[in-house]
Structure 1
Amino acid sequence: MQFTFDDFVLNQDRRELTLRGDVVAVGPQVFDLLLLFVSNPDRVVSKDELLEEVWSGRIVSESTITSHINALRKAIGDTGEEQRLVRTVARKGYRFVGQVRVDDSGLQPEVNVRPTARPSALALPDKPSITVLPFHNLSGDPEQEYFADGVVEDIIAALSRIRWLFVIARNSSFTYKGRAVDAQGVGQELGVRYVLEGSVRKCANKVRITGQLIDATSGAHIWAERFEGLLDDIFELQDRITESVVGAIAPQLEQAEIERAKRKPTESLGAYDYYLRAMAKLHSGSREAVEQALSMLYKATELDPEFASAYGMAAWCHFWRKLNGWMTDRPSEIAEGIRLARLAVSLGRDDAVALTRGGHALSHLAGELDSGIALLDRARLLSPNLAPAWYLGGTLRALHGETEAAIKDLSHAVRLSPLDPEMFRMQVGMALANFFARHFDVAAQWAEKALGNLPSLLVGVALLAASLAHVGRMDEAQLAMQRLRELDPTMRLSNLKDWLPIKRPEDLASFANGLRLAGLPE
């Protein structure tokens, strides 16, 4: 159904408000308010009815209702003084007095159309929870997008080091990049109480960062601040934002805990720029993107020889090349990856990112599975909300034979980052854990999910072929094997133990048998 008033069109099916063809960004509850009003034109809608229809009967404060009415008026060009379209009826409620036209659907304006139900919200964790949305780049320079993104990533990382705080991972937060969103809707989708949003304006050597913290359960603004300074002080500005956010969430927080949220990845902004650019490339998982990221990470370490996170991510690039059969000089590239990983974990003893990526790379490149798990365990102690530490650690535990613990860790990673564009990493980890637990049907399902997100994922294809063969689905297993041979013609059963660091002989045998049944040569 479509409602027209003034130059506005409200489309109920698309849940969209437009003004002369241009979309007007409104939050879900503001949309529901407007839909309720235009569905009942020139009739007083009581506050009790508002609570029932828009807030599903939940009791909210008078100020919350007022703030949403004000937001509605602003969206449709009305004011509380003018009340041209939405009129307040003292002690009764509100009345929509604009002329409403309904499309030719057979329904009349007086029919009470209930707002479209919103998806059920995730349950809030039992501790304070937050997501940091991508900050708007107000620099007028698209090339500076990476800088604004990097500021947000470091704030997420800093908040993640606070053990009592549940922080949504970067990849899920960034699915909202470039979208007009409502803090309350985001809170429901991600299952968090607080939403931090803001903007970054960079001009020459000056930067201005603004931020505001919103209680997503009520829409109330808790805190807002603006920080200005020179780029030389960018990390200090980030620390001040983090400190203010943490203080707003838990005023009783001791200063020592605030200090733990202040970690600077490097003092060299040039190196940091290269690191941010590399991180922007890595999330796709493609061969070309990984090669470009690796080049940038080397530049970062040249400018800052003690940049632990950059060494860790560079080592991890070499691991990803090995896993997907992309290495051209395998012995020397593996040796280089090991060198970088050892530098990462040595320089970054208190750097969760360096320990996560470096430790994971050592497990695969040097076969040091036990040490790698220990390093990722330390990373999780340092940064309990770092999703890669959970899903990469879970994958290592699967390779170690700890399938139950692996599935638990991987499930927690999905909860930390439920909208992650790199979900294929978690899915292939779940496939691996279920395969070694001999749940071959389940393993095949997870492998198919991973390949749906990244069709070129070699380990996903191998797990799919072996799982299908174990359950007797031979035609499908042979098709998967054909795909495997296309991705890596050099793959053989004899080099399987050099491809993945599988700890238990029985797990390696099960994997080899499945691939043998699917048609992989000896």
Structure 2
Amino acid sequence: MNHDFIQKLTLIVRENLENENFGPHQLAHEMNVSHSTLHRWLKQYTNKNISQFIREIRLKKACELLQGDDHTISEIAYKVGFGSPTYFNRCFHEHYGCSPGEFKKRELPHQPETSESKRIRSKRYMFIAASILVLSILVLIVTKKYGFLTKKSPIEKSIAVLPVNYLGDTQHKYLADGVCEDIQNNLARIKDLRVIDVNSVKLYQSKKTTEEEFVEELKVGALLKMTFQEIETDIVLYVSLINADDGTVLFSERYIGDQNKIFVTQSEIALAVANKMGANISTEERQRIEKIPTVSLTANDFYQRAREQQWKYWINEDKRALKNAKELYSRALEYDPNFAPVYTGMALLEWNQNFWKSSISEEYLDSVLWLAEKALSLDKNNSDAYIIKAEYNRIKGFNDLALSDFDKAIELNPNNWMAYFGLAQLFTWNDFSMTILYCHMAASRHKGVMLPTILRLLGSAYRSIGFRDEARYYQTEAFKLDSDSAKYFLINESLEDVRGSIQLLEKALSFDSTNTSVLWDLAVYNSFAAQQNKAFLYMKNTWT
């Protein structure tokens, strides 16, 4: 039975080799079992986790392709589902002990050997064997004496920063949370890294999943764990970088100093972590990471408190939290009127309060635009401010300006999922292939409350260009995330575009007029279709 089980798993993986997004979650879905059940089976039968099992099948197929001369190494990397030839090379070398290029060169035409060449070859092998034996003994001695690691798993350049473990007086809790978020933001500025947004991590941690399930869901190569502690007048940060694949500690350090140096310390930690993961960091990225956002710890404290209230509103639609956030942002500006992120936070507050109104007033739009421009006047590298400008221009119908602003936001923060999703919406009506591309980019960085909406737009775009199986898959994934949203919408075969999605969601609503998930989706899709009056009515019904 074990053999049949492994054969079936292998066949499914091989059928999906070229799909770089096919991972543990998809394999469990194909087997019609839960992720934890599949993980338990594989550990029992193969002593591998799901990611390792899939990766080894990909690498075995790569070996088969390397024996021919039909493809370049980069082409083979993509053919077996690696999104990056560099990462493919690292995994291949780790598994086989040589690069793909070296492996390919081993396949040489057979040449007859003379007795003399056999004798020379035999001596050479004896010498090599003896050398390897001596070297192995030396390595063993050094490893035992100094504790060096002789083998490390290759790390995919992707990371999730876990919420900080806080020890000490609760008055500094917001400082600790801010440190965690700022380190994540600094890492997100590096193009060579894929970084999961903070709110996604918070959401998954609130579900109380195991760390292994958490890692598989977020699909990251590493986790950053931090503990914040106060010792007299100093702040101590314990930082550990964990290989998400095998749990090994890649980097562990203690940082100590007074509060006034905390922003410098955040930059140091982000750069140290990125270097440990082998990320390429440009001069411009380094400068953005090293920039200190404010000199006022009090302003930063009010800012972090405001962010927490804004998050509560986003999750629970608590209008009191929205009011609290506005007051806290104002207090932050009292201590530092040049704190640029406060203005983008206030712009998003305006957005939260007014976007779903039956008609969007010019006064509201002008206010949002002014706040974004004010943030950019203080910090020209503020990615969120460019997203706000882009959304302003998209609503106004200035698509070229919106495209330019979204591109600038991504240049400054290559991991800003909101910019990718904004671009996906922008291309919805004229280039579905671009919608698909940017939805994938957004979904790989955001696993939070907006993921079902991203997946539904992705499914709709696939359906529009004729890929019905892919459309059904992503609609089903969205359905799993929010239980019964669009229950009838995702099984209907006639979906063609966003307008078709609206029609089917309306049909779903006729079966259950109080389904808040369907109402929310109708609000979002009508917003996509520039039907703000309808969007407002559906959103208003989610509040009653």
TM-score of the aligned structures, taking structure 2 as reference length: 0.56
> 2:422 aligned with 1:392, yes or no?
yes
> 2:268 aligned with 1:268, yes or no?
no
Query: Helix, strand or coil: the match of 2:444?
Result: helix
The answer for the alignment partner of 2:407 in structure 1 is 377
* Counterpart contact for 1:313–1:354, Cα < 8 Å: no
| Aligned match for 2:203, one of 172, 175, 179 | 175
With over 3 angstroms needed to count, the CA separation of the structure-2 counterparts of 1:370 and 1:293, relative to structure 1, is: farther
The answer for the alignment partner of 1:279 in structure 2 is 307
With over 3 angstroms needed to count, the CA separation of the structure-2 counterparts of 1:169 and 1:239, relative to structure 1, is: same
Higher strand share: 1
Aligned length: 378
* Counterpart contact for 1:428–1:450, Cα < 8 Å: no
| Aligned match for 1:319, one of 335, 342, 351 | 351
In 1, the alpha carbon distance for the partners of 2:510 and 2:501 equals 9
With over 3 angstroms needed to count, the CA separation of the structure-2 counterparts of 1:453 and 1:129, relative to structure 1, is: same
| Aligned match for 2:175, one of 147, 160, 166 | 147
> 2:384 aligned with 1:353, yes or no?
yes
Alpha-carbon RMSD: 5.0
With over 3 angstroms needed to count, the CA separation of the structure-2 counterparts of 1:333 and 1:440, relative to structure 1, is: farther
In 2, the alpha carbon distance for the partners of 1:351 and 1:478 equals 44
* Counterpart contact for 2:234–2:258, Cα < 8 Å: yes
> 2:261 aligned with 1:233, yes or no?
yes
How far 1:197 moved relative to its partner?
Answer: 0.4
User: What percentage of aligned pairs have identical amino acids?
Assistant: 23
Query: Helix, strand or coil: the match of 2:249?
Result: strand
Query: Helix, strand or coil: the match of 2:425?
Result: helix
Query: Helix, strand or coil: the match of 2:290?
Result: coil
* Counterpart contact for 1:313–1:357, Cα < 8 Å: no
With over 3 angstroms needed to count, the CA separation of the structure-2 counterparts of 1:474 and 1:447, relative to structure 1, is: farther
In 1, the alpha carbon distance for the partners of 2:49 and 2:458 equals 38
Higher helix share: 2
With over 3 angstroms needed to count, the CA separation of the structure-2 counterparts of 1:439 and 1:344, relative to structure 1, is: farther
With over 3 angstroms needed to count, the CA separation of the structure-2 counterparts of 1:151 and 1:375, relative to structure 1, is: same
Deviations 1:453-478 (A, max 9, x none): 999xxxxxxxx99646746x876566
| Aligned match for 2:371, one of 323, 330, 340 | 340
| Aligned match for 1:129, one of 158, 161, 181 | 158
Segments of 5+ residues of structure 2 without an aligned counterpart are: 1-35, 57-152, 486-496, 538-544
Query: Helix, strand or coil: the match of 1:261?
Result: helix
Query: Helix, strand or coil: the match of 1:196?
Result: strand
| Aligned match for 2:327, one of 285, 289, 295 | 295
* Counterpart contact for 2:462–2:468, Cα < 8 Å: yes
With over 3 angstroms needed to count, the CA separation of the structure-2 counterparts of 1:174 and 1:474, relative to structure 1, is: closer
Amino acid corresponding to residue 323 of structure 1 in structure 2:
F
In 2, the alpha carbon distance for the partners of 1:267 and 1:168 equals 27
* Counterpart contact for 1:341–1:361, Cα < 8 Å: no
How far 1:156 moved relative to its partner?
Answer: 1.0
With over 3 angstroms needed to count, the CA separation of the structure-2 counterparts of 1:389 and 1:206, relative to structure 1, is: farther
With over 3 angstroms needed to count, the CA separation of the structure-2 counterparts of 1:202 and 1:126, relative to structure 1, is: closer
TM-score of the aligned structures, taking structure 1 as reference length: 0.58
How far 1:352 moved relative to its partner?
Answer: 1.6
Segments of 5+ residues of structure 1 without an aligned counterpart are: 1-27, 37-48, 60-123, 456-463, 503-507, 516-522
* Counterpart contact for 1:466–1:477, Cα < 8 Å: no
Amino acid corresponding to residue 381 of structure 2 in structure 1:
D
The answer for the alignment partner of 1:407 in structure 2 is 436
With over 3 angstroms needed to count, the CA separation of the structure-2 counterparts of 1:308 and 1:433, relative to structure 1, is: farther
With over 3 angstroms needed to count, the CA separation of the structure-2 counterparts of 1:196 and 1:247, relative to structure 1, is: same
In 2, the alpha carbon distance for the partners of 1:320 and 1:269 equals 27
Amino acid corresponding to residue 330 of structure 2 in structure 1:
Y
1:190-205 residue pairs with structure 2 within 5 A?
A: 190-202=218-230
